[in-house]
Every structure is written in structure tokens, then in C-alpha cells.
Chain A
Amino acid sequence: MKFGIFFEISVPRPWEAETEYQVYQNCLEQVRVADELGFDQVWAVEHHFLEEYSHCSAPEIFLTAAAMLTKQIRIGLGIVVCVPQINNPIKIAERTATMDLITGGRLEVGTGRSATWTELGGFGVDPDTTKKTWDEFVRILPKMWTQERFGYEGESFSMPQRAILPKPLQKPHPPMWVAVTSPGTEIDAADRGLGSLGLTFGGFAEQETKVAEYRRRIKYCNPVGSFVNEQVNTVNFLFCHPDNETGVKTGLRLAGTFNYMAEQLLAARQAYPTRSYPNLGLLPALRRESTAPGADGGAPEGTCIGNPERIIQVLKNWESVGVDRVNFLLNAVETVPQEEVLASLRLFASEVMPKFASTRPVVSAGAGAI
């Protein structure tokens, strides 16, 4: 099992002149420290207009800065919104290839479609179309990266033949993932040979079922890329502290704050009746279930908060249900002071990470082909 960190870049009100600047600097420092400590991946989302919850509208720029501060950590762009009103697929291919070059082949590309009316409505997107455009995009991106010239006539996007440049450093191309929030998306991921980038915090039982189905289906997949990226990433909260009670208390505050902010968003389904969004996307109910206090009044079973011993046990459970990687949310609207976030990272790296080193090789699919 390997570990990463995951950024929404949430910015608390009041928004003073340097609030966003300070949050971005804190995040960059967290990436630098995570790299030094041996974390494997850093991911940053693409969100637009989501006040306080996420000010991460240009993750490729944030991640490029992160890459320049680091040496080893893999750079996860994700998810990039595969909707033509928000991102032209040519631009996605060009930007990601450039990132792969300047990060020295460290890029991972997450794909998705956005789940809020706030974002879709802001860009004038018909929610009915996003699953379809995502499916088109993930099929053409690998061709844009690998073919000398690329031309295409499709439903949501067409172009005459052109050389899309530059090409990625990783050959044949960077590993591709899809954000898995809606039930059934793990099947979409498996059928296309994409990595499952879990963005919810469901408990073990929920995830075990999803992982098992993903592993079963991907054996028979028709990969959209040049290789199958069979990996399961999940997201979790992290607050690691020598004193379990303190760790749980702070971790619950972090999780509760994050969930409260997420619940303020106007989900696509809440605003627009459509089969395209069978649930609330960001899954407030699942988040509540998995971050509410556990049966004994303490931490919920699947959440990585508390002392190192507790977190090790939680992660062993995640490992046993088939999860390859866990990406951690470290903060929410700066509810945890930066020095405590960094101390948590360091304690996790010294006490928890060694228990999982080399227990299971994780395929870094594209990198291996360089």
C-alpha cells in the first residue's frame, strides 16, 4: 500500500488580501514535506466557483509549482473535468503532456465530469451530457498523446488532423484514472481499464464490494488507453497524533468541517432532474456515515485519525479490502494549524508508513515503460 495527499484547497472566510496566498503556500509546503517523507502521490482537484470549499480552479498550475519543489512524488492532476465547455480535450492533452515533461514523467491523469450545478450551470453545461462527454474524452486523450497526428469526428468534439504537441515523457502515456463518486462508476473505470480514484469516504463494507467488482470486471476490460491501469485509490482524512484522544478529536473536527462545507454545495441532482446524476455526487450521506463518531463514540471505523497504532489498524483493514493507495485530505478551511498538519504528516511517515513499506508492489503503469 502506498500513500498520497489530496488537495481541494479550501479557503476560509473572511477572505482578506493574503488569505488565498497563505493557503496556497501552506499547501505547497505540505507537498514539499510529503515528498521528503516518502509519500507517493499528490493530487489536486479541478473545481470552479465553489466558495470556501475549493479554490483549486487551476490545479495544473498548482501541481507544476509542486513538482518544481519536489523530486520523487508523483503528480496527480485530478480530476480534470472532461466537459467541452470547461476543458477542450486538445488543451487537456497539451497541458498534461507538458506537465509530464517538466515533472520528469511523474504525471497521473484523473478524469471526471463535475457534480455540482454551481460548476455546470456556471459554464452552461447540460448535466445530461457530462457522462457522454467524459466517455468520449477518455477515449481520445490517449490517442492525442500517442499518435503523431490526430483527427476526430465525434459527438461532443471534432477536429481535423493536427499534431498535438508536445507528447508526454511517459510512454506510451501517463496512467489514467476516473473519479469514482457515483455508484457504478467503479464499473465504468474497470470496463475502460482505468484506475479507480475513489473520492468518497465510505466504510469498509461499502468499499470492499466496490473493489471486488472493480477487480472482477477489469479482467475483461476493453482499455481506452494503451495499457490497463488496475489500481484502486481511496481518499481519507489524516490527522495523526501521539495521543489518540487528541488525534481523534482534531481529526473529527477536520472531517466534520470538510463535510459541512461539502454539504453547502448545490449538487447537480438537487437543481436539475436528470438520470445522469443518480445521486448527490459528492455523496453527503456516505460522508456522514463514514465520518460520524463510531459505535463507541470515538472515531469512525475507516477514518485515519488518532494515534499511529489506531491508524495502522485502520489502514490494514483498507489493505485487506483491496485498496492499493490512500490519499489523505490534510486540512479543511485551515481548521488545523499548519504546524499541526506538518507534525501529523511527519508522525505518520515515521510510525505508520514503515508498517506498509513494500507490502504490495503497486504498478506505476506508465512510468515503467519509459
Chain B
Amino acid sequence: MPLIGTLDVSSQAASAPLVLAPNTEPWELPGAEHLQLMFEIDDSHMVDLLPPALHPTIPPTLLINVLHAPKSSVGQFTLAEVRIGCRSGGRPRAFLAQAYCDSAPAVTELRTRWGYPVTQAEVVLDPQHHQVLARVTLHGKLVLDCGLKGPEAINGGDIQYLPNMNLVRIMRNGAEAVRLLQVDADYAILKADRGRPTASVFVPEAWAVGGATPQWPVSASYATGTVTLPRVRYLANPSLRPLEAVEAV
């Protein structure tokens, strides 16, 4: 049977966001701009960045997602995520390793409602006509400088977005339990480009991905439209095998 992850999440569990109500209301983010980059990573990281509830993709992949939301219930914010491509059972997913956001109120929303492992940092999405750039600066240090080069228009429906699997703590029978929370955002895309992905600066330690770095470029897309963070429907027990792990909320 397929490979499964070997990441022991117990060390991360204590600091994982506590989500008290996974069935939170959807959060609509109109006019959002979204940069997505995909890279292959070294196969030495094929299984060690994922918990046993998830299968790695073959080849192993790393996704960089940067979302700028100009309007939201807590004002504008920009969110950067680094995720590891995976499968939950047979379903394509991405395990969120680390996220940064430039807005304290948005950090609170994302952590408490959807379990994003997100902390505040300077996050910039800089769309230009010949490229789209993104940067993350943490405590004055640049930890991500990436982008899309050579944009060409495509149909937004050609872009695939993978639902997140976020490591969270929830309450079960009066006690805390660790789960993966599936965040299956909805994308209503108005305009989209694709191009070549680049990552000139990537500090693995800042993104909780061991020594993994973006190694082989796969694809890049930049889209504008409405992104809606959903009501959560599924959880997974990270320590169980994939076919035994999934639970309905």
C-alpha cells in the first residue's frame, strides 16, 4: 500500500491552535488575490513532513500560497502559507506546515476558527504586469522571496486548489484531542494567469519543513476572485492510518 507519513505531531500538538467550534460560519473574502506556487522537494522528505494519517504525493511536493484579502470582516490582510502536498485516503490535500499573516485580527480569526498555525509577520503580495512577487519578513529577516514569472492568461477553472489539513486541538468529551482539520476553501475566480514559479529565498526553519526546500519548479498561478473559507466538515486523527483517520464534524 502507499507510503504514509512518519511525522510525530506530539511535539507540535501543544502549540497547535485550539479550535472550539469547528462548525464555524463561512468567511467570504471578496476581491482576493491568490498566488500559488508548486515545487517538487527532495525525496528524503517524502514521508517525514506528514503525519501517519496522510500519504505523500509522488513526487513529494511543496506549495507556497499567498492570499491578499482587501476586504474582510476584520479589514484587509495578507496570508502566506507553506504546505506539503498529500492525500487523505484517496483525496488530494495539503498539510499546512506554517503560515504568516500581517494582520493581528486576521491571525485570531484564522487560528481560532480554522486552526491555521499562523503568526504575525510582514507579508507582501506584489502583483506586476510581468511578474507577481511575494515576500515574508519575520523579525526583520526575509524568510520567503518568491513569485510567478512570465504570466499568461488562463481559465481560472484550470487551477486546482488543494484543501488544507491544519493541525489543531479540539475538545472531545471534555478533554483536548489533536486532529487535522480539513479546510476546503471555495474559489470563485474572475481572472487568472499562470507562469514559472521562483523562490530565491526560502528559509526552511521558518516554515517548519525540516530542511526541505523548493527544489524543482512545477507551476505557478495567480488568480483574483472571491475566496470563501468554509464551514468545516471533516477532521482526521493524525496518528491513525489514512483510511481509519477521517471523522465527520
Contacts and interface: CB of A to CB of B under 8 A. Distances in A.
A273 B160 contact: yes
Interface stretch (A101-109, A205-213, A227-235, A263-271): A263-271
Interface stretch (B6-14, B57-65, B122-130, B134-142): B57-65
Contact of A51 (B58, B91, B160): B58
A274 interface: yes
Contacts of B55: 264
Given A266-B58, A273-B219, A121 B194 contact: no
A259 B40 CA distance: 24
A273 B2 contact: no
A284 B58 contact: no
B90 A273 contact: no
Nearest to B40: A121
Given A13-B1, A273-B194, A333-B1, A265 B158 contact: no
Contact of B61 (A260, A265, A266): A266
A67 B210 CA distance: 50
Residue of A49, A117, A270, A273 contacting most chain B CB atoms (<10 Å): A273
Given A264-B2, A264-B90, A273 B59 contact: no
Interface in B160-174: 160, 162
Contacts of A117: 218
Contacts, number: 68
A50 B55 CA distance: 14
B23 interface: no
A194 to B, nearest CB: 27
B92 interface: yes
B58 A49 contact: yes
B159 interface: yes
A338 B48 CA distance: 35
Interface in A152-211: none
B84 interface: no
Nearest to A271: B218
A118 interface: yes
Given A271-B38, A273-B219, A275-B154, A52 B2 contact: yes
Contacts of B146: none
B57 A266 contact: yes
Residue from B216, B219, B221 with most neighbouring chain A CB atoms (10 Å): B219
B164 to A, nearest CB: 15
A121 B87 CA distance: 19
B58 A263 contact: no
A259 B61 CA distance: 21
Nearest to A263: B90
Contacts of A259: 90
Contacts of A122: 59
A271 B58 contact: no
Interface of B: 1-3, 38, 40, 55, 57-59, 61, 85, 87, 89-92, 154-155, 158-160, 162, 192, 194, 216, 218-219, 221
27 contacts: A12-B1, A50-B58, A51-B2, A51-B58, A52-B1, A117-B218, A121-B216, A122-B59, A260-B2, A260-B90, A263-B87, A263-B91, A264-B2, A264-B57, A265-B58, A266-B61, A269-B158, A270-B162, A271-B160, A271-B219, A272-B219, A273-B192, A273-B194, A273-B219, A273-B221, A274-B154, A333-B1
Given A117-B218, A272-B219, 17 more contacts: A51-B2, A52-B1, A121-B216, A121-B218, A122-B59, A259-B90, A263-B90, A266-B57, A266-B59, A269-B160, A270-B92, A271-B38, A271-B218, A272-B218, A273-B221, A274-B158, A284-B90
Interface of A: 12-13, 49-52, 117-118, 121-122, 259-261, 263-266, 269-275, 284, 288, 333
